[in-house]
Amino acid sequence: MDIRIRSLYKYYGDKRVLEDFSATFREKSSVCLMGPSGCGKTTLLGILMGLVKYDAGLVEGVPPRKSAVFQEDRLCEDFTAAENIRLVTGKRAPEAVIAEQLSLLGLGASLSIPVREYSGGMKRRVAIARAMLAGGDIYFLDEPFKGLDAENRRKAAEYIREHTVGKTLVAVTHDEAEAALLGGEIIKMGGSV
């Protein structure tokens, strides 16, 4: 089922963040939302994830099984990367699989230390692995490559593409090169109102 957004409005106090926004995201396709800061990209993602309430409009067709890379890493800092992944997967993902997937993202040597001791880029990769291993019918990625160098960005994009084949993917980015790495349709959102 396609995701249909019609005449969406969202205010934070007096500030209008989304005004009469409409779009259709085709099922099992990739969409990249682009636009300047404050234009409502993250808010729109939050609404689609079901975490932010909107003031007016219509949103339908969002699958119930969702996965996400949030704008912040949102990791449990006291736990290891594998434990952070097990938090969302439970026993569905065996330990060996988690370790293998983290190794694919270049984290194989840091499996036993809490993520508190990771660099920003390493934490980002854990957040990406967590989202991909959690699985779902739709993936939301909010600036997924934030803090990654060019090589890790390329690796992470390839990793994401492999895991989201045949799934709906909605990503947010400022950067056209990052949008190109993820592929799919680009939707440009306007400036803040």
Partner 1 sequence: MLRRPRLGKALAAALALLAWQAAAMALGQELLLVAPSKVALRLLVLAGEAGFWKTVLSSFARIISGFLLALAAGSLLAAAAGRLKAVETLLWPWVITIKSVPVASFIILCLIWLSSRQLPVFIAFLMVFPVVYSNLLEGIKSADPKLLEMAKLFRVPLLRRVKYIYLPHLRPFILSACGVGLGLAWKAGVTAEIIGIPAGSIGERLYEAKVYLDTADLFAWTVVIVLVSVAFEKAFVRLLTLLMGGRR
Strands 30-34 and 185-188: parallel
**Given candidates 134, 170, 172, 181, which one binds partner 1 under the rule CB under 8 A?**
134
Q: At what angle do helices 81-89 and 120-134 cross, to 10 degrees?
A: 30
**Given candidates 106, 114, 121, 147, which one binds partner 1 under the rule CB under 8 A?**
114
| Residue 74 or 154 having the CB closest to partner 1 | 74
Check residue 42 for interaction with partner 1 (CB under 8 A): no
Closest distance of CB 54 from partner 1, Å = 16
Count of CA atoms in the C-beta half-sphere (13 A) of 177: 6
Fill in the per-residue mask, 58 to 97: x = in contact with partner 1 (CB under 8 A), - = not in contact.
--------xxx-x-x-x-x-xx---xx--xx-x-------
CA dihedral 92, 170, 163, 131 (to 10 degrees): -40
Contact window for partner 1 (CB under 8 A) among 48-56, 96-104, 150-158, 171-179: 48-56
Distance CA 53, CA 65 (A): 18
- Tokens matching residue 157: 């994009």
Distance of alpha carbon 42 from the chain centroid = 10
Residues near partner 1, by CB under 8 A: 49-51, 66-68, 70, 72, 74, 76, 78-79, 83-84, 87-88, 90, 114, 134
